[in-house]
Amino acid sequence: MRWARIIFLLCVFAVFGAFLHYTLPQRDVVRIVDTQLQLTEISGWTAWFYAQSDSGVEGTSVQRDVRIISAVRPDDTPIDYRNEDTGIFGWPPYFKIDSQDLQTEAQDLRSTRDAPVWVAITHYGWRNNLLSSYPNALSIERVDGPDVTLIPWMPIVILLIFALILFMIWRIWERFEDRVILPIVDAASVRWAKIKDRLSGRG
């Protein structure tokens, strides 16, 4: 029973951790090499990894053009980002409605290996070749170089808020357990003991 509980809790934490890792903003220092429109089929499992259509655009089509930002990391490994609106009511709630402006900004920051321009791309999501999923770029900021130190303030604040909420829930549950559940359990135990005594002829 103990191992079953441990395995269940580990599974819950793993799912919750994956959800946070996918949803929380991350920043990559890269060099933008190209921007393009890519006709993408969005259906089945793939649909989970794409946002809604741009704000004001009908989103019922299975195929649609997706803005792609192609970049290269400092170690010369390639990475591609999609550039889609999350909208006002979309998830995650980044309220991004400026994907075309961001695409123009990315085009303006393209550079070559000989004259690199390094930028920090804030994004959420995962790159998965099998599912053809891309992280969604949220913003682009020019940085001094590939070795710049970026402190993830927003994820830190969000995780601290989550930790505070969980602590408050735990404290509320503890008080509820002490004031309501334990007295009920104790009273039930006393009643059961009296019933046993009566059945055994000792009451």
In tens, the pLDDT along 65-115 reads 899 999 999 999 999 999 999 888 878 889 999 999 999 999 999 999 999
The residues, ordered by sequence, that sit 6+ positions from 170 with a Cβ below 8 Å of its Cβ are: none
Give the three-state DSSP class for 141: strand
pTM of the prediction? 0.77
Query: Predicted confidence band at 54 (pLDDT cuts at 50, 70, 90)?
Result: low
Which residue from 125, 136, 106, 122 is spatially nearest to 36, judged by alpha carbons?
106
DSSP code for 50: S
The yes-or-no verdict on residue 194 having pLDDT over 90 is: no
The yes-or-no verdict on residue 57 having pLDDT over 60 is: no
The residues, ordered by sequence, that sit 6+ positions from 29 with a Cβ below 8 Å of its Cβ are: 73, 74, 118, 119, 120, 143, 146, 148, 150
**Summary mean pLDDT of the chain:** 86
Share of the chain above pLDDT 70, in %: 89
